[in-house]
Amino acid sequence: MLASIPAVAVWLAMLAGCSTDPVNPDGCRQIEYARCEAALSCPTEFPKLDVDSCKRFYRDQCLHGLASEEDPGQPRIDQCVKAIGTAALCANAKQEPCELEVTKTAVACDVIQHPEIYKECEFLAPPPPAQLEAGVDAAAEAEAAAD
């Protein structure tokens, strides 16, 4: 019985490092709700948008949280929401390029449609997929050893 205690402790320690908790679902909702509202300013890109349906969709979709590995924090969430709001104002005023707080030249409807490509919201871009180089290297070594 005592011999199995270290194995259980190791297993529990490994589980503690693996979290399935979503990253800032409230921040996700703030950003997506801002996008839903701002999209009205871009009728060509978002024809026949129903803002209430959009918000209902993201209310549930954001249960998964942000795609980033770490919580960017409320100041960065606020900066992104502000950039989306500024983009909506630019789009309504037909002001191009749109000047955001950090990004000095932006296309207003692009900010609303793809905020992750702008500095203010860059944390929204999903992390790059992990490379499986170890598996490729092992296969190459095995192949070389067979020769």
The model's pLDDT over 64-81, given as tens digits with 9 standing for 90+, comes to 999 888 899 999 999 999
Q: What is the pLDDT of residue 14?
A: 39
Mean pLDDT of the chain: 81
Q: Which of 107, 36, 40, 29 is nearest to 74 (CA)?
A: 29
In this structure, which amino acid lies at residue 132? L
Q: Is residue 3 part of a domain?
A: no
Q: Is residue 139 part of a domain?
A: no
Domain that holds residue 106: 21-124
- Our count of domains for the chain comes to 1
Q: Is residue 136 part of a domain?
A: no
Q: Is residue 11 part of a domain?
A: no
Q: Is residue 9 part of a domain?
A: no
Q: Is residue 34 part of a domain?
A: yes
Count CA atoms within 13 Å of residue 89 on its CB side.
9
The model's pLDDT over 18-67, given as tens digits with 9 standing for 90+, comes to 456 888 999 999 999 999 999 999 999 999 999 999 999 999 999 999 98
Name the more confident of 126 and 36: 36
Mean pLDDT of 136-142: 55
Q: What is the pLDDT of residue 127?
A: 75
Predicted model pTM: 0.73
Task: Flag whether pLDDT at 90 surpasses 70.
Answer: yes
DSSP 90: H
Q: Is residue 35 part of a domain?
A: yes
